[in-house]
Amino acid sequence: TQLLEQSPQFLSIQEGENLTVYCNSSSVFSSLQWYRQEPGEGPVLLVTVVTGGEVKKLKRLTFQFGDARKDSSLHITAAQPGDTGLYLCEGRETSYDKVIFGPGTSLSVIP
Amino acid sequence: DAGVTQSPTHLIKTRGQQVTLRCSPKSGHDTVSWYQQALGQGPQFIFQYYEEEERQRGNFPDRFSGHQFPNYSSELNVNALLLGDSALYLCASSRGSGVKLFFGSGTQLSVL
C-alpha cells in the first residue's frame, strides 16, 4: 500500500526566512503533485512534477522531484505571511491509481 | 468559468441520521472524487465517479455511497452517521484520469 510521509509536520518561521518541506515514500511515482490549503478552503494545486530530477519554480517556491521519483521537496525563499497554510503532497504510481495525500506540513509565517 | 461548487457549506446532524452532500464539477471536467478531511490531516480518498459509475473506492464502509448524474454533478450520501464522521468533505473534479485535481471549498459536517 502506497504511503506518503511529510516532514516537518509543523513549521513556524519569521517573515523573510527560507524553509524546505519534504515528501517521501517507498513507492515510485509517475507523477507527484503539491497543493496548498488555507483554513476553510479546499486544496489548490501548485505544481505537478513527472520526471526524475525535475525542478520547477513558481515565483519564490521551488519544487524538486527526486531522481528515483520516490520523494520531493518544496523550498520557499523569503517566506511571507501569505504563504501560511497546509502544504500537501500527493503522488500516484500510475494516473489510474487511487489518489493518496500525505498528512501535510502546516506552515505559519509570522510577520 | 465556475470552479467546483459544493453545497451546503456547513451541516449539523445527529448520530444515526443520513446526509447528502452535493458537488458540481468545473466546466469541462467529467470525473468527480470525494475526500474526507479530519482536522489537521490530509484528505482521505472516499471514491471516484466517471461516466456515472464508481471507478475507484478508498477504505470507507458501505455507509458511504455516491452517485454521478449525466451532467457530471455528484452526490455523496452517508447513512447511520457516527460522531467520527465529523469532518470537512471535499469534492474534486478532473478531466478523465488527469492528475490535476480542482477542489471545491468543502462541506463542514458536524455530527452531534
CATH of the domain at A50: 2.60.40.10
> Over its length of 111 residues, how does chain A's per-residue pLDDT go in tens digits?
558 999 999 999 999 999 999 999 988 888 999 999 998 899 999 999 999 999 999 999 999 999 999 999 999 999 999 999 999 999 987 656 778 899 999 999 999
Range of the domain at A94: 5-110
Range of the domain at B73: 5-111
Q: Give the number of domains in chain B.
A: 1
The C-alpha of A14 sits at a distance from chain B's nearest C-alpha, in angstroms, of: 22
pLDDT score for A2: 59
Look at the block and give the residue holding cell 520516490. A70
Best of A9, A93, A101, A107 to substitute, by most chain B Cβ atoms within 10 angstroms, is A101
A101: contact with B, CB 8 A cutoff: yes
B21: contact with A, CB 8 A cutoff: no
B94: contact with A, CB 8 A cutoff: no
pLDDT score for B31: 95
The C-alpha of B55 sits at a distance from chain A's nearest C-alpha, in angstroms, of: 10
Compute and round to an integer the Cα radius of gyration of chain B: 13
Nearest to B101 by CA among A101, A78, A38, A39: A101
CATH of the domain at B47: 2.60.40.10
